[in-house]
């Protein structure tokens, strides 16, 4: 590496991917014949089949020769179907012209940082956060302001913490505030009250609001989800959603970037997204036709999501109970997405931190999960609750045994 010093850009150095970082060790362990339990990747495509009508539409698109570049902004009918979805679910009105189809939500995260962040610019990201938020912010040379969510109140936004974080970065006006609802990694939704107050603060500080709502139909335990689009009327904002979670079509790589407001900022950002989309020519074409069917066929989707959300609910509640019974870990009750974010009671263990926890856990018990520090919250672990109850039971049994082995 020394000979290459200065060769890789500042932005490109030290990209971390805590979710995948143990992939090499895990593959090595599997080669040695261990029975590995992976609860680190939130990919419903591994555990559930993509809905059959989406698969059918995918193949039909190929048969009909829809394999060329589409318009950079995305298939017009799909953009209109995204508009219909928001109107149908939330009564939020915007036109298909105000949607850009991206290669997964991750491409939208990349575009939004390249479009808003000059080196040194700041952005507000609540922690714990989805790891890639920080990756893309840093790739554009941005600096994160990271107010913690409030574990005691079910990981809701704490306005006091938000105020404090902004005050300690006074003089630096953040370009955007990024809200994730439902949250990955906590598996919880934000309260309407907290969202209202947070976006008022964004408005007062001239911050653009971004809301990643990619899990918005995966709700259970009576979770009350409110879209930022419903509350941010008149405030410049961008909504992010896509095919991967609600439609369990991760491998299709389709995201929706929605610019519902007509103010100059929102529309300038939309135009910049379209320019960036033009540079990569087109998102995957058969995938766009497939998602058109996925969104249009609301009856099939309702049936699908009801069934899957019930299954995830039952698995998550089961896993949360077992985690809280270990005596070494505690988790807030989840009510959305498919994650548990559990506090490690390090005072009871002879382990240094969450990093050591996940490294030794993989080596000793062959369970792969993600360290909380990877989400900006040291001292925690994230557990993916997509596997069956039997697998989750075995995983948490191993975690408990691991804790007992390392009891202080």
CB nearer a second copy, residue 123 or residue 344? 123
Question: Of 36, 43, 221, 360, which lies in the binding site for a second copy, with binding defined by CB under 8 A?
Answer: 43
Which segment (91-99, 134-142, 146-154, 341-349) binds a second copy by CB under 8 A?
134-142
- The CB-of-20 to a second copy minimum distance in angstroms stands at 5
Site for a second copy in 362-401 (CB under 8 A): none
Instruction: Report the candidate in 102, 63, 56 with the shortest Cα–Cα distance to residue 79.
Output: 102
* 106 touching a second copy, by CB under 8 A: yes
The mark string for 230-259 relative to a second copy (x by CB under 8 A, - otherwise) is: -------------------xxxxx------
Instruction: Report the candidate in 375, 335, 340 with the shortest Cα–Cα distance to residue 354.
Output: 375
3-state secondary structure of 176: strand
Site for a second copy in 175-234 (CB under 8 A): 175, 208
Instruction: Report the candidate in 322, 312, 368, 363 with the shortest Cα–Cα distance to residue 342.
Output: 322
Q: How far apart are CA 331 and CA 151, in angstroms?
A: 9
Instruction: Report the candidate in 233, 239, 229, 228 with the shortest Cα–Cα distance to residue 263.
Output: 233
Q: How many residues bind a second copy (CB under 8 A)?
A: 79
Question: Of 20, 145, 231, 317, which lies in the binding site for a second copy, with binding defined by CB under 8 A?
Answer: 20
* 99 touching a second copy, by CB under 8 A: no
Sheet containing 329-331, strands listed edge to edge, beginning at the edge strand earlier in sequence:
329-331, 339-344, 380-384, 370-371
C-alpha of 157 from chain center:
16
* 107 touching a second copy, by CB under 8 A: yes
Site for a second copy in 254-283 (CB under 8 A): 263-265, 268-269, 272, 275-276, 278-283
- The CB-of-326 to a second copy minimum distance in angstroms stands at 29
Q: How far apart are CA 135 and CA 126, in angstroms?
A: 14
* 17 touching a second copy, by CB under 8 A: yes
The mark string for 56-85 relative to a second copy (x by CB under 8 A, - otherwise) is: --xx--xx-xxxxxxxx-------------
Looking at the DSSP assignment, which residues form a beta bridge with residue 370? 382
3-state secondary structure of 234: coil
């Amino acid at each position: 590496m020394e000979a290459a010093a200065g060769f890789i850009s500042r932005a490109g150095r030290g990209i971390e991917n805590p979710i995948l970082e143990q992939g090499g060790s895990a593959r090595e362990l599997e080669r040695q014949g261990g029975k590995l339990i992976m609860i680190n990747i939130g990919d419903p495509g591994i555990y559930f089949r993509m809905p059959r009508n989406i698969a059918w539409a995918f193949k039909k698109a190929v048969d009909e020769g829809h394999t060329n570049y589409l318009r950079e902004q995305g298939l017009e009918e799909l953009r209109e179907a995204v508009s219909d979805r928001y109107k149908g679910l939330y009564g939020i009105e915007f036109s298909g012209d105000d949607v850009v189809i991206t290669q997964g939500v991750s491409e939208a995260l990349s575009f939004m940082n390249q479009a808003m962040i000059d080196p040194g610019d700041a952005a507000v990201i609540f922690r714990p956060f989805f790891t890639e938020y920080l990756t893309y912010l840093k790739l554009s040379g941005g600096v994160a302001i990271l107010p913690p969510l409030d574990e005691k109140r079910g990981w809701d936004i704490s306005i006091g913490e938000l105020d404090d974080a902004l005050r300690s970065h006074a003089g630096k006006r953040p370009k955007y505030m990024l809200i994730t609802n439902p949250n990955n990694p906590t598996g919880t939704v934000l309260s309407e009250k907290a969202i209202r107050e947070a976006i008022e603060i964004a408005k007062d500080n001239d911050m653009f609001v971004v809301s990643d709502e990619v899990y918005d139909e995966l709700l259970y335990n009576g979770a009350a989800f409110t879209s930022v689009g419903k509350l941010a009327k008149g405030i410049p904002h961008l909504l992010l959603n896509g095919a991967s979670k609600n439609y369990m079509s991760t491998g299709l790589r389709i995201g929706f970037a929605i610019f519902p407001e007509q103010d100059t900022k929102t529309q300038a950002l939309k135009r910049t997204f379209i320019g960036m989309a033009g540079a990569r020519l087109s998102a995957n074409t058969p995938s766009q036709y497939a998602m058109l069917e996925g969104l249009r066929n609301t009856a099939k989707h309702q049936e699908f999501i009801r069934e899957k959300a019930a299954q995830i609910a039952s698995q998550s509640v089961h896993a949360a109970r077992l985690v809280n019974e270990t005596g070494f870990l505690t988790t807030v009750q989840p009510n959305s997405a498919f994650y548990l974010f559990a506090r490690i009671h390090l005072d009871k263990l002879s382990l240094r931190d969450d990093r050591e926890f996940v490294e030794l856990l993989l080596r000793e018990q062959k369970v792969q999960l993600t360290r909380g520090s990877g989400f900006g919250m040291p001292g925690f672990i994230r557990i993916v609750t997509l596997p069956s109850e039997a697998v989750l039971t075995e995983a948490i049994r191993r975690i408990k045994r691991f804790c007992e082995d390392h009891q202080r």
